[in-house]
Amino acid sequence: MSTPRTLAFESADTVNRVVALLVHFPEIHSVRSNPDDATLTLSFAVRKRLDRAQTQAFGEHIGEHIRALLDLRGEAPDRIAVSAERDAAVTFVTVTRDAESFSRGELELLVALFADAFRDGLVRDDAGSTPLDDDPAARDDLVEVALDALRDPAQRQRLVGFREEQRVLVYFAHAPKRAKARARS
């Protein structure tokens, strides 16, 4: 039976693509694919504690730009959500989008919006970001292939890629099993 070997290869290939995506965009703290609801979640770390009003205003700013970009393509987003987790000195801002309409152009727009809004306050992993290739077209293709892997509807497991101590880690998370309903008599 060759299915497990094929799945292992596809998983390893997907992991390599996500690693390349995170290396190419050192501003992204983490990326998660959520096959259950067909969404992607990107997380950015900001070296400052953002309050709810700031998070809400920035979320609206992101939403306006994403809707404008998609409108130019004749599309409308199924989902745009921005949230934040705060600790004493850092805020993790997450953007959740429907995977189907998410594109490389939107990813570049998000990175630019975060970089513009937070400047030096945006946490970047510059130490681990070495150019994979000097060819911009090859880099663009690499990003497209990575996004395709994250959007793949055949993917059954959630995929999580994140940065930790100047490394990129990627793993597959199994969806929790749903308990069977008890039979009633």
- In contact, 60 and 54? CB cutoff 8 Å: no
Q: Residue-wise over 24-57: b if at least 16 C-beta within 10 A, else e?
A: bbbbbbbbbbbbeeebbbbbbbbeeebeeebbee
Tens digit of pLDDT for each residue in 171-184? Answer: 777 655 544 444 44
Q: List, for residues 72-83, the tens digit of each pLDDT value.
A: 999 999 999 999
pTM of the model: 0.79
Which amino acid belongs to residue 3? T
Q: Which residue has the higher pLDDT, 130 or 117?
A: 117
Residue type, 5: R
Tokens of 119: 């400047």
Residue 23: count other Cβ atoms within 10 Å of its Cβ.
Answer: 18
DSSP summary character for residue 37: T
Number of other CB atoms surrounding residue 18 within 10 Å: 25
| Pick from 9-23, 47-61, 67-81, 92-106: least confident | 9-23
Q: Is the pLDDT of residue 128 over 80?
A: no
Q: What is the rounded CA–CA span in Å between residue 132 and residue 142?
A: 10
How many C-alpha atoms does 166 have within 13 Å on its Cβ side?
5
pLDDT of 142-173, one tens digit each?
Answer: 788 888 877 776 776 777 888 787 778 787 77
Give the pLDDT confidence score for residue 133 in this predicted structure.
Answer: 54
pLDDT exceeds cutoff 50 at 9:
no
- Which comes out higher in pLDDT, residue 62 or 180? 62
